[in-house]
Amino acid sequence: MLHSGSVPRTSTCPPQSLRRPGLRPQRAVPAMVRVSAVMSDGDKRFEVEFTPWLIVGLGNPGNKYHGTRHNVGFEMIERISQAEGISLNTIQSKALIGIGCIGEVPLVLAKPQAYMNFCGESVAPLAVYYRIPLRHILLVYDEMSLPNGVMRLQPKGGHGQHSGIKNVIAHLDGHSEFPRLSIGIGNPPGTMDVKAFLLQKFSSVEREQMDEALDQGVQAVRALVLNGFSQHIRRFNLGQKYKYHKV
């Protein structure tokens, strides 16, 4: 279980006890992932508690799907894991998860292992277990309506006919008021079958665009977790919208 704790602003987060490989949260009593920060002199008049985030990348498990268009959500979770030093080393609620922080804000990274169409079976139980509100559940997924490598970060939205998002909404009792980071993968060329397109790997040019986008996505997620939907996120969305437009 993750416990509340007081962490000086100069300390790392979470406590080292939460970083041990193989650590599994105890399931007896659900608890919110929460960290308190106090001024270095210990004056609790300035204590601040941070609401945790659940960041879920949608995709399909197994080597067969690694590197495919439909799995860019998994790739984003892996990038965040590497950038923030959060190990994905625990299985909980049919998901591979990692527990850590961005800055002093606690978060749970998750890659559901029950396939795209059933990812809600992981998202809802994790949100309930860690008492994470809808506004702090960030879903990361592929989006055909956006050009390859173009991203959009929104505070809420519909399912856009995405099977994974549909399943998550269904398991959240029909609620869709959660943030989402959609990653453009473009549309199938000509009359190509949609399923075949989604399960196809990127071309070398597309791969280069996607790698650049994933790095930009890590920065956007960091800004969101630390500052919410601020002016920085609005600038990010605007920059993404016109990233391939020549001036």
> Nearest 5°: CA angle at 150, between 144 and 156?
75
**What region does 20 belong to: left with phi over 0, alpha with psi -120 to 50, or beta?**
beta
Cα 204 to Cα 49, 98, 207, distances in angstroms: 45, 30, 5
Cis? peptide before 8, omega within 30° of 0: no
The active-site residue out of 3, 66, 70, 232 is 70
Q: How far apart are the first and last CA of the chain?
A: 52
User: Rounded to whole angstroms, how far apart are CA atoms 46 and 103?
Assistant: 18
Residue 48 to residue 39: CA distance in whole angstroms = 9
Residue with tokens 């949100």: 127
What is the b/e burial string over 140-175, where b = at least 16 CB atoms within 10 angstroms of the residue's CB?
bbbbbebbbbbbbbeeeeeeeebbbbbbbbebbeee
Catalytic (active site) residue 70: yes
**Catalytic site residues?**
70
